[in-house]
Amino acid sequence: MEAIGSMPQTAIGFIGLGNMGRPIAGNLVKSGQDTIVYDAAGTAVRAPQGAQIAHSTTALAGMVDVIHLCVPDGRASEAIARDIRSATDRQTRLVVDHSTIGTEAAQRVHGLLAGAGIEYVDAPVSGGVSGAVNATLAIMYSGSEDTFDQLQPTFEAMAGNVFRVGGEPGQGQAMKVLNNFLSGTAMAATAEAVAFGVKQGLEMGMILDVVNASSGRNTATADKFPNRVMTGSYDAGFSSAQFVKDLRLYRDAAGAIGASCPISPAVSAIWRSLDADEPNADITRIYTFVHPEDGD
């Protein structure tokens, strides 16, 4: 890894090297794409092997045409957008946001960047840390078709499935938060249903086998319970606090357009309860929360 002052226009910028961002950036490097990274929490210690480093957002904006973001929330995306706008000798013309920030924040970031002549597309990802590591993520892109086509080599390096879900800022976020609402609902409902079955004297493995051959199959029964709960590892790599955030974003977006959401309050409440009881718990801990007899 080395700091540099300038790069050819083919270089890609990447901001945000957390649990998701670091392996995504690493896959860009592995694909042979020149990648310059930055993370406010410490770039040198977080940068993937083979990446080059920038010392600030504004410095990065002077080096590359395209910057990808993978940051915790809308406030971070907005702050980065302001820094990119303010960069002297700015080269950046496109920002691709892989963060989960909600529809309203995406629209605000779009407005900030559009005012400076910078294109913004929201392209959140799903698939968790394992998907980021294995380059099997799903990307939910919202933006122009031309830009979508131009980004294909980059997307192919990080994802197994890429969807252009719309053309307006925020539509990618809408897709992401509705997906996470469904995921959170399935995880909580599976925990309750499996706990019920165990109390009836059924073996968890048998419950999952039957459900996975039946209409109740979902990602919790197919993956998280057999691989993370039954094994006792409880390491899905996604926290209760993240579900609380994403469900809030879903409900905020629904409220902003007057969409009916009679189920999400109950789902949100169970995840808030888990997070209050065990802050930042792995989401698979929802099972021991509803069925404490199986806790450590």
Q: Catalytic amino acids?
A: 176
Per the CB < 8 A criterion, the answer to whether 129 and 235 are in contact is: no
Nearest residue to 283 (alpha-carbon basis) of 267, 265, 262: 267
Per the CB < 8 A criterion, the answer to whether 57 and 84 are in contact is: yes
Per the CB < 8 A criterion, the answer to whether 125 and 140 are in contact is: yes
Per the CB < 8 A criterion, the answer to whether 112 and 82 are in contact is: yes
**Local structure of 242: helix, strand or coil:** helix
Nearest residue to 132 (alpha-carbon basis) of 225, 30, 61, 248: 30
Per the CB < 8 A criterion, the answer to whether 9 and 50 are in contact is: no
Where helices occur in 62-160 by DSSP H, the ranges are 74-86, 103-114, 128-134, 145-150, 152-158
How many angstroms separate the CA atoms of 17 and 37, rounded?
Answer: 8
